C-alpha cells in the first residue's frame, strides 16, 4: 500500500497526526512549483472526487 500526504504548507501538527499510526519508513519531499505549473494542477474538489471514485471502484472489485 502507498499513501500520499499532500499539504500546501508546513504544519508539523498535521503531519505528525497523519503519520502517527505508521510504523513504516517515510520519504519526504518538498516541491516548489511555478505559477503556471500550479494552475495546471486539478483543484481540491477534482482530486477528492478522483480518490473517492477510485476507492469506490476498488471496493466493488474486492
**Which residue in this structure is represented by grid cell 505528525?**
16
Cell of 28: 519526504
For residue 29, what are the CA distances in angstroms to 2, 12, 43, 49? 15, 14, 21, 24
* Mean local confidence (pLDDT), 18-45: 85
Return the number of other C-beta atoms located less than 10 Å from residue 19's C-beta. Answer: 13
pLDDT in the model for residue 36? 94
Domain residue extents for the chain: 12-61
Q: What is the pTM of this model?
A: 0.46
Q: Is the pLDDT of residue 44 over 90?
A: no
Tell me how far apart the alpha carbons of residues 60 and 62 are, in angstroms, rounded to a whole number.
6
Tell me how far apart the alpha carbons of residues 1 and 35 are, in angstroms, rounded to a whole number.
32
Amino acid at each position: 500500500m502507498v499513501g500520499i500526504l499532500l499539504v500546501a504548507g508546513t504544519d508539523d501538527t498535521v503531519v505528525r497526526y497523519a503519520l502517527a499510526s505508521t510504523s513504516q519508513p517515510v520519504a519526504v519531499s518538498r516541491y516548489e512549483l511555478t505559477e503556471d505549473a500550479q494552475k495546471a494542477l486539478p483543484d481540491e474538489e477534482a482530486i477528492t472526487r478522483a480518490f473517492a471514485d477510485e476507492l469506490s471502484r476498488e471496493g466493488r472489485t474486492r
